[in-house]
Amino acid sequence: MLVAQVATDVAAGKAFDYEVPPALAGAVVPGAVVRVPFGRRVLEGLVLAVSDRTDFPGALRPVLGAGGGPPPLTPALLELARWMAAYYLAPIELCLRTMLPPAVRDGADGDGFARVRVVRAARRDGGAGGRRETAGTEGTAGTTGAEGRPEQGTFDFSGKRKAAERKARAPRAEPTARQREILERLGDGEEILAGFCRTWRIAPETIRRMAEDGLVVVEDRVRRRDPLAGRRILPSAPLPLTDEQTAALALVREAIDAPADGPAPRPVLLHGVTASGKTEVFLQAIAAVLERGRGAIVLVPEIALTPQTIRRFVARFGGVVAVLHSRLGAGERHDEWHRIRSGEARVVVGPRSALFAPVERLGLIVVDEEHEPSYKQDETPRYHARDVAVVRARIERCAVVLGSATPSLESWRNAALGKYALATMAHRAADMRMPSVSIVDMREETARAGGKLPAFSETLVRAIRQRLDDGEQTMLFLNRRGYAPTVSCPACGHAETCDECSVGMSYHIDDGVLRCHVCGAWRPVPRVCPCCGNPDYRFTGVGTQRIEAIARRLFPGASIDRMDLDVTTRKASHEEILSKFRAGKTDILVGTQMIAKGLDFPNVTLAGILNADTGLNLPDFRAAERTFQLIAQMAGRAGRGAKPGDVIVQTLSPDHPAIVRAAREDFAGFAEGELRERQELRYPPFSHFDCVTFRGTDRAAAEGYAVRFAAAIGEGDGEAYVLGEPAPAAIERAKGVWRFQITLRGARPAVLNERLRAALAAVPPPASVGVAIDVDAYGAG
């Protein structure tokens, strides 16, 4: 008897055994989607394994049905899901779910493809059954043909195929004049039926009769929903490489060509300053992979997945590129995924979740901007795509390249230990020069301004004026949106806070309301203080809207634009603002991190960071690392064209090592000092760091359980210990839910996991408290 082990969405973390009926033996394979009885219901599940034994004492219930075609998950992905479930302490079915886009899961029963009905003249020799080859999607790069593969059978209107064929063999009569006219219009081409009838005012009945008479053929064809449809992208050829690029590529190719029977190749860390040409190295490495008949996955942070990025890959590889990201429609995602599964697309570009694309014969995974926090998923399974990429590469025995101008300290240390191979590109490509970074001490500026911290230093104002005179562009960065982050009453000190969250409300001048940045709630500014009746409110602190307003006052003739979450969801789209800026219609662009990442504008010669301290002051052991990354990123935005760029960093801590080293573009020096500090404090990468969050609408229940859970983990023994007491999370209350946290540290993740599992078993959480375990937590501490 064949037994399938099946995971479903109900029954977290458990898989159940089902008998495989002989008729389904071919379709029920690991990774397949099946329908199984569960209680009185029928559920969809994924087959984890098939064997000939079961530990279940009773009679097994049978698998009811299985999706056709190749199973959605490859054996390598199943193995990866098992690893993720164990490492991140997540139920296996949630890991499997993460790997399959919803549109693909739901399409398991039907097939989820969109179809279009086409009509063409029947060939005289072949009759209605005549088939001809249809053009695929190859051709010039990026001109993505809409019609995909030919459909399985010839369509016939009545649904009685045989009758239609019989009739087709015996045409009734010569075509009428009208029919001849229609045949002429069709010529040798193929038309979409509905559009053809509409354009030429042909009754569908006329076509139906012609099909019956064998004059035309009507078929259903799978219509690919193509995210790049309508875009013309010119093909690009490989660029000549610098010596540094050549050396980096050689290292990656060595990993690609590692012998199949040897150990898995070492991951390659590509440390390249901004504009050093990392992407060209990736492109040529992918070309090498394709030549060997293998596939590649390229991960980029969602925010950097701009049409510009996608264009570069499509320009080089054309139709074999598939794009997966969250802005695609469900249909597009479904079709892209199936193009990958069928092997038609062999290069996948996308954010975090694209790591799970079912590419077979995988030859290379690229993780670009590997230090980006967006690679960490903030819901179960809380995986880090960079780390999982390294594991997938090990399972598939393929090459993996991690690229960054400011590598994470984890990867940097792995390179120092020799676990990763290191390639360094210290120079910008072509004749672009590195920008010069200057630090402005805002303590001095405050003294000069009579004790009030100004938003713009004199140095920055002067530099912007210079750019305006020279017709060059400026980017100004501030990591806080809105107008003023604090709204309070000067008379009694009452501050406006969100009713549902433990944070203050920010004032937004665009619509004149107070907004909560945690839950999005808004309300008008009260007319008088609810505590003391004072009619005046004080708006303190500075957000992007205020910077925009001040800039308009300081530079009255300049054209100024702003890009942050508020603008991009309402006034104009992301793309519109950027294309205006690219065209040089904007002199100054103010924005949040949206403008710091991956954008490339040749006429920007000045980048200003208005308050570099916001990040430094976060209660997070990565605060310094993040600040260094931010300055390096902004430096990467300035001077990408022929003209050199300047970066001005305004800070109250001009001596902080992260700022000083970033100004000198000294990543290695920064990393050395920061690693020494982390080692002393035993923070990652010198230990593993987990964070457990306890949530509930009942504050006492959540806090009480956190205390019991921490006690159950027990005293530290050097292997795993809880840091400090259970404490309120950085945002203690969000959307009405209280949140408490404990953090754990230990040398080995397996030991930490064992402790966490044991604690959960010893003191199961009450129904009112949710527990979220974040293995290798990114922030806090």
Binding site for Zn ion (CB under 5 A): 489, 491-492, 494, 498, 500-501, 516, 518-519, 521, 529, 531-532, 534
Rounded to a whole number of angstroms, the minimum distance from the CB of residue 134 to Zn ion is 54
- Closest distance to Zn ion from the beta carbon of 735 (Å): 6
Q: How far is the CB of 532 from Zn ion (least distance, A)?
A: 3
Task: Name the residue nearer to Zn ion (CB basis): 669 or 736.
Answer: 736
Q: Residue 751 has which token pair?
A: 């030991």
**Beta pairing class for 646-651 and 486-488:** unpaired
The nearer residue to Zn ion, 436 or 534, going by C-beta atoms, is: 534
Q: Which is nearer to Zn ion, 516 or 590 (CB)?
A: 516
Concatenating the DSSP letter of every residue in 150-170 gives: PPSS---TTS-HHHHHHHHHS
Radius of gyration of the chain (CA): 30
Q: Are strands 604-609 and 588-591 parallel, antiparallel or unpaired?
A: unpaired
Q: How far is the CB of 393 from Zn ion (least distance, A)?
A: 41
**Rounded to the nearest whole angstrom, what is the least distance from the CB of residue 737 to Zn ion in the complex?**
11
Q: How far is CA 450 from CA 454, 461, 554, 605, in A?
A: 10, 18, 19, 31
Residues, the chain: 781
CB atoms within 10 A of CB 753: 20
Provide the minimum distance between the beta carbon of 546 and Zn ion in the complex, in angstroms, as a whole number: 21
Helix ranges (H only) for 594-728 are: 613-616, 623-637, 657-663, 667-681, 699-713
Q: How far is the CB of 527 from Zn ion (least distance, A)?
A: 12
Alpha helices in 187-261 (DSSP H): 193-199, 204-212, 243-256
Residue closest to 210 by CA, chosen among 238, 186, 245, 175? 175
* Pairing verdict, β 421-425 and 268-272: parallel
Of 518 and 751, CB closest to Zn ion: 518
Give min distance, CB of 497 to Zn ion, in A: 9
Tokens of 330: 């469900």
| Cβ proximity to Zn ion, 149 vs 494, nearer residue | 494
What per-residue string of b and e applies to 252-279 under the rule 16 or more CB within 10 Å gives b? bbebbebeeeeebbbbbbbbbbbbbbbb
DSSP 389: H
Q: In the bound complex, what is the minimum distance in angstroms from residue 500's beta carbon to Zn ion?
A: 5
Compute the half-sphere exposure of residue 478: CA atoms within 13 Å on the CB side of its CA: 25
Closer CB to Zn ion, 139 or 533, in the complex: 533
**What's at 215, amino acid-wise?**
L
CB of 523 to Zn ion, least distance (A): 11
Before 685, cis peptide (omega within 30)?
Answer: yes
* Residue 382 C-alpha from the chain's centroid: 14
Q: Give the residue with the Cβ less far from Zn ion, 102 or 736.
A: 736
Indicate the residue among 234 and 495 with the shorter CB distance to Zn ion. 495
Q: Which is nearer to Zn ion, 321 or 501 (CB)?
A: 501
Quick one: 366 or 519, whose CB is closer to Zn ion? 519
Assess whether the previous peptide bond of 235 is cis (omega < 30° from 0).
no
Q: How many helices (H) and strands (E) does the chain have?
A: 24, 30
Q: How far is the CB of 105 from Zn ion (least distance, A)?
A: 33
- Return the number of the residue (163 or 528) whose C-beta is nearest Zn ion: 528
Please give the helix or strand (H or E) that residue 545 lies within, else none.
helix 544-554
